[in-house]
Every structure is written in C-alpha cells, then in structure tokens.
Structure 1
C-alpha cells in the first residue's frame, strides 16, 4: 500500500470521529434503564445502547471504507471478512455490564486490522471524557497527550489487575511481590490503564475476543508495552476463531518476566 503510514493515520481520524458519535449515542441511554437482552446462553448482556452505537459505527466506517471487512461483537459474523486484508474490529460498548449498572468505566473500542495486526485504534470512554488513540508508527495518546507504560521499580510490588486466583498464582514467582488492583469492568480500558502507567500489568483470562483487544493492543504497543500469549507471541487478529487463550500485558521491560511468572496459569 503506498504511504501506508498516511493511510493508517487517515483511518485513525475516521475511527475517532465514528467512536465519538457512537459514544455520544450510547450516553443517550446511560443511567436511563435501557432495554437489555442476554446472549451466549444467558452469560453476556447486550443493551439497546450497544446496538445503537454499533449501527452508527457500521454506517460511518463502512460508508467511508466499503472495501474493508467487518467484525463486531454486535453483528452476526460474516466469513467474507477472512478474504479482506483490512478489517474493522469493533466493540460498540466494551464493559456492557458496567454500562448497565451505571458505572463510568466502559468505552467504545474501534480498530483497523491489516494482515492480522492492528494499525489504527481508538478507545473512547465518554462518561470519563477520555480518548485513547494510536496508529502504526505513531505515538499512543490520551486526550492528545503522549502516554507510556511504566518501567520496573525494585522499590515496590508490581501493580496488576487480574482475577484473584490468577494474582495469587502469580505472586510466588514475582520477586518484588504483587499488588492486586480492584476489578476493572472493561477489558479494553484495563489495557489502556497499562498503556498510561496507572497500573503495571494485567492478566487476561482465556476467551477474550478480537473486539475486546485489537484497539487496546495497538495503543499499548505504541505506549512501549505489549500484549502477548503465554508463549510470548503477539496476537493475530481476523482469524476464523476470534477468541484467545490466557494473555499477559505490561510495559516491554517487564513483559518477558511476567510471561515467565504466569506461564503455569495457562487455561485460566
């Protein structure tokens, strides 16, 4: 693709505008008792706000890039995306349970994935007035200001967001100890917290999905961190199977140590 960096920057602008529109639409439903349905055999809620935000994203993005594929949590999957080199990967509301409960930590997650890796990504948390953005080869920004993942600090334990059993399983293998951070209801936002240094790391339970991860993966990478499997490999997106195994995320200087300490948690 000629001048790929400029193309991904243009895609980032497109994602940002669409995410802002979708977030504003979701706010119309926030704390107003939107209708809720249950999917995946009653395990996952979806609200009228999710569908309304998804409709805006699909219209805005595909009208501008009709040759791109489409993968969204709230759209029936179409295998035609597998024939596309470049795909939109969308979660109209990441953190739907928090949204329904009237909690602020939820966000619109929107990414462009090219040949299996994200090249533009946006996380917009309208209730917090926070916008995270990144494009390939560019900086990670939060509300227009660069952010960076934290560096190791021998003087304190690693601050990690993880399920209690995973954090306890990790602690014996971390020399400085572990400080477990309370639950963050949006996975994408949790990864953004690693990107901006509010927490040092997170462990992601198996069965997360492309739409939870793609935008945040790029933002974290451009902030000097990484999201990897327990083999230390980067993630590949837009595959036939869109779910993932147990994952680790941290700043690059501590990522390999975290992976080694967490390897026995495979299958969590």
Structure 2
C-alpha cells in the first residue's frame, strides 16, 4: 500500500504487481522445455520465458510511468535512458540457467533507480512463493515480514555463498574462517539470502550487471547491509557502462572486515 510520506512506495506497489504478473507468465514455461537461445558468444542462455516475462514488465511499467527510462537484460539498450533521472532496471528472470534446468531458485528482479541509486526494489521467486520488497527509507520485507542481516558471531565461521575459487585466503582474513555454502544460481536471490540472514555474506564476480543487482542492493541496504565495491564504495546505476567490478555484500557490522579480507580478489 502506498505511503504518502514515502513517494517511492507507489512505485514499489507498481513493481510488485508487474513482477507477480511476469512471474506467473514465466511459470507457464517452467519445467516444460521452453525454447532457448544463446547470446554473448554462446555463453549466456535466454529462454522464451525470459522474453514473455520481459514483455509483461515493459507493458505494465512503462504504461504507468511513460516518463521513466528503461534498462532490461532482454531489451536492446537505449542510450536515451541516460537522460532520465528515473529508470526501471529489470531482469525478467534472474537465474535463467536454473530456470531452464527446472530448479526453483530463480526470480523476477525489478527496481526503480533515481539519480543512480535504487529507490524501490522487488525480487519475486514464484516457484518458491517468496516476495522480497523494499523502498527507500522503508523496511525490507519477505512475504510481508521484516528481514534483517545477521550480526557477527565469534563462535562460528562466516557463512558465505561464493565461487570456490574466491575462497582463497578468506579463511585467514575473516575471524572464525569461512563456511562455504553451495552455489546459488541466481545472483539477486543470493543477495536476498544475505538480507534475510540465511547466509552472512557473499562476493560477486566482476561483470555483474545493473539488472542483476539494483533491486537486491536496495533490499539488502534496508535489511541492514550493503553491497559495495572492494574499495568500500556504493554502486551507481544507469551509467553508460552497466557492468561492475568485483563486489562484496554483508551486514554493515561485517562489511569492513569482509572488504579488507577480499581486496586481493579484485578482478575475479
């Protein structure tokens, strides 16, 4: 429900409705062998479900906010977005490989970015019936209930979902070492797992894109955490270049230690 004290809650409501529609459409294809194409030199799959969900999101969102810019993984980029203060940043299915394989961890990622930072964000995982939401200055919610990052606990290791080749030297840099969680196929969902406390932290390999990150970035920040560069800087979105360098995500009380322990992984 919109909150007059926070102008971005109306946009959040819009994102939620569109994401639910797009997620329902994607489910029509799930585990039914959708047609698949390969892009980026054959390294990145895209399915008929991605395009169908993207079409719904674009129609629902731009019809309601025609003055907003548009950036989506499954739409040819339009440099006109750079002239817009406010932009929709969309990944119709984050975790397409998992989707194609019939695995449940994939989600619709939808954000509103204003002057370079996300101000409304939604992650909807329809196969899991999970909805993560946040608006600027609001509370991060999962299925309507507040979520929060974990606090440091000296009695146990840091639970991290990271690629195996990024665990190098982290055991020595982090108090208590690292307990590596198995691969999470959706990057946006992995960041949501930090936000709701199922894991303590994660690292993001270079070349993640705005659409992978923007919604989850806001949800994590409203849950008491942050997604930053290995220089400790917040991310800016809707730039000419939409990819990012190696990143770190954790609760604020863990973040400086994680960044310090991870700087040698810059460029991964």
The match for 1:168 is 168
Aligned pairs (5 A) from 1:17-36: 17-36=17-36
The match for 1:220 is 220
TM-score normalised over the length of structure 1: 0.98
The match for 1:129 is 129
What secondary structure is seen at the aligned counterpart in 1 of 2:71? strand
Structure 1 Cα separation of the partners of residues 160 and 234 of structure 2: 20
Kept in 1, the 8 Å contact 2:6–2:137? The answer is no
- The alpha-carbon deviation at position 165 of structure 1 amounts to 1.2
The match for 1:266 is 266
- The alpha-carbon deviation at position 5 of structure 1 amounts to 5.2
- The alpha-carbon deviation at position 169 of structure 1 amounts to 3.2
Structure 2 Cα separation of the partners of residues 64 and 224 of structure 1: 31
Q: Deviations over 1:77-104 (max 9, x none)?
A: 0000000000000000000000000000
Aligned pairs (5 A) from 1:94-173: 94-173=94-173
Give the CA RMSD over aligned residues.
1.0
Q: Please state if 1:8 is matched with 2:8.
A: yes
The match for 1:208 is 208
The match for 1:256 is 256
What secondary structure is seen at the aligned counterpart in 2 of 1:244? coil
The match for 1:45 is 45
Kept in 2, the 8 Å contact 1:161–1:199? The answer is yes
The match for 1:193 is 193
- The alpha-carbon deviation at position 38 of structure 1 amounts to 0.1
- The alpha-carbon deviation at position 174 of structure 1 amounts to 1.3
Q: Please state if 1:63 is matched with 2:53.
A: no
Kept in 2, the 8 Å contact 1:169–1:265? The answer is no
- The alpha-carbon deviation at position 167 of structure 1 amounts to 1.4
Structure 2 Cα separation of the partners of residues 227 and 6 of structure 1: 23
Structure 2 Cα separation of the partners of residues 238 and 159 of structure 1: 31
Structure 1 Cα separation of the partners of residues 175 and 91 of structure 2: 37
Structure 2 Cα separation of the partners of residues 52 and 161 of structure 1: 30
The match for 2:178 is 178
- The alpha-carbon deviation at position 168 of structure 1 amounts to 2.6
Structure 2 Cα separation of the partners of residues 66 and 90 of structure 1: 15
Kept in 2, the 8 Å contact 1:5–1:136? The answer is no
Kept in 2, the 8 Å contact 1:5–1:137? The answer is no
Q: Deviations over 1:245-266 (max 9, x none)?
A: 0000000100010000001110
Kept in 1, the 8 Å contact 2:89–2:113? The answer is yes
> How many aligned positions are there?
266
- The alpha-carbon deviation at position 4 of structure 1 amounts to 8.4
The match for 2:72 is 72
TM-score normalised over the length of structure 2: 0.98
Structure 2: gaps spanning 5 or more residues: none
- The alpha-carbon deviation at position 171 of structure 1 amounts to 1.6
Kept in 1, the 8 Å contact 2:8–2:135? The answer is yes
